[in-house]
Structure formats: C-alpha cells, structure tokens
Amino acid sequence: MLTARVIPCLDFVAGRVVKGVQFQDLRDTGDPASLALQYEDQGADEIIMLDVSATAESRSSASSTVADVRKRISIPLTVGGGVRSVDDVQALLESGADKVSINTAAVANPMLICEASDRFGKQCIVIAIDARKYHDDFVVVTNSGTQQTLLRASDWAMQATTFGAGEVLLTSWDRDGTQSGYDLLLIKEIAESVQVPVIASGGASHPNDMVLALRAGASAVLAASILHDKLFTISEIKNALKTAGYEVRL
C-alpha cells in the first residue's frame, strides 16, 4: 500500500533555514544540509525546500544550497520559491531538485504549468497554493501571502492540475507557523477537487493534527516549526500515524 508521507519543510533565505509566522518574522533555525540529513535519518519521506525570500526580492532560488542538500540526502527533494519560468525549473532540476513547486508565477501565467509539465513530466511539477479564509470561501494569496486574489482555491487547484501539475502543496496562510492545527476544511475542499496527491501544510502542532489531515484527504503532511523546535521527531509522528491505522515507512 502507498504509505502516508511525512515531509519536513525547510524555508530558506541566503543559505540558512528560517521559520516565520504567516510568512513573516523569520528566525534562523539552522543549516539546510545538516537539517535535511537529520530529518532523513529520523525517517522523513521527502524534503521540501522553499526559498521564502525569492519572490519578494526578485531573485532566483539559491542553487548552491539545493546542490548541497542533494549531495547529502538520498530521498526526494522538492524545491520552490521564486520560480518564474521553464528555465528556472530546469536550473533547479539541474541543481538537484527532483520536483519543483511553482506558486505566484503560475497564478499570473497558468501556461507556465503546461510548459513545465510537458517538458519535465507532471510528476515533477508541484503547484504550491497558499490559501486563506475569505468570508465563506478559501481564496488564493500570492507573493508570500502579501497579495490576495479573488481566485477560489478549489477552482485554481482544479485548473492547475488540469494544466499538468502532478501534486498540490496546499498551505493555509491563516495557520502557517501558528501551531493551531491544519485547516481541515481547506484540505477537504481541495482534496475533493483534484485527482493528484495533496500535501497538507500550515499549522501542524501535534501528530494528532497529521492524523486529522490525512483523514480530511491529504496524501502527505508537511511540518516545519514543530520539527525545527524539536517538539516532535518524525519517528514519533510516524508512530502516531501507524497507531491511527495509516501505513507508514518506519
């Protein structure tokens, strides 16, 4: 059986791992390559690295940081942040990413998803969607959460996956870094809208939250704060998932 995945997320800026709250107030939490290796040893199923400064500061993701991490780990690596073109995707793949996530640029130009997916395969292209609650809907926010769109998150998820994204990295802006649990309604809505796997992100505080996210329809759960702050280890999380009846790779 396909196992439930636990994925640590390394937000990075200038070669250091950082973590903020609602994408702001970033604090330093370590060296990317050593953290990634530590998480692989704990049983991480993949690593996601997001260059959180890239969109705001208009620069492409730091390929040397990616290359360092690639050399150290032997599990899949997804990289995102500031990806604007097919060339950006290619550069990250060449640096050692196995999958590339696209966010803001895809909202502005959905054809980027088609082009990247045609060229590199859909299993390689992750659509990263940052969503926040707005009245009774979930809407997409871009540019590290600084721009709110009128795009419904579920509509965008459907469109982006029809265009060729092979996975959805779904982050609740409202919950990011708050350790108040994943937004389960958001997960349910998106998981029901798409055929591809959904990675739940934003708000994990306890292994129990991860069980709930999987129940809501996520195929994988992402965590940053609770891992960087050593509140739980990945093996503790996986054991909790197993106890709840999910198959995990231990």
Binding site for other proteins (CB under 8 A): 1-3, 5, 40, 45-46, 67, 70-71, 74-77, 93-99, 118-124, 166-167, 195-197, 219-220, 247, 249
Q: Which residue type sits at 156?
A: W
C-beta closer to other proteins: residue 46 or 174: 46
Nearer to other proteins, 87 or 118 (CB): 118
Taking phi over 0 as left and psi of -120 to 50 as alpha, with beta for the rest, 152 belongs to beta
Cβ atoms < 10 Å from Cβ of 1? 5
In angstroms, give the least distance from the CB of 77 to other proteins: 8
User: Please, which residue, 52 or 220, has the CB nearer to other proteins?
Assistant: 220
As measured in angstroms, the least distance from the Cβ of 3 to other proteins is 5
Sign, CA torsion 81/32/209/6? positive
Q: Which residues face 140 on adjacent strands?
A: 131
Report in angstroms how near the CB of residue 118 gets to other proteins at its nearest: 7
Q: Is 11 assigned a catalytic role?
A: yes
Of 51, 68, 88, 130, which one is the catalytic site residue? 130
Strands 99-102 and 125-134: parallel
Whether residue 111 contacts residue 86, with contact meaning beta carbons closer than 8 Å, is answered with no
Active site residue 176: no
Residues recognised as catalytic: 11, 130
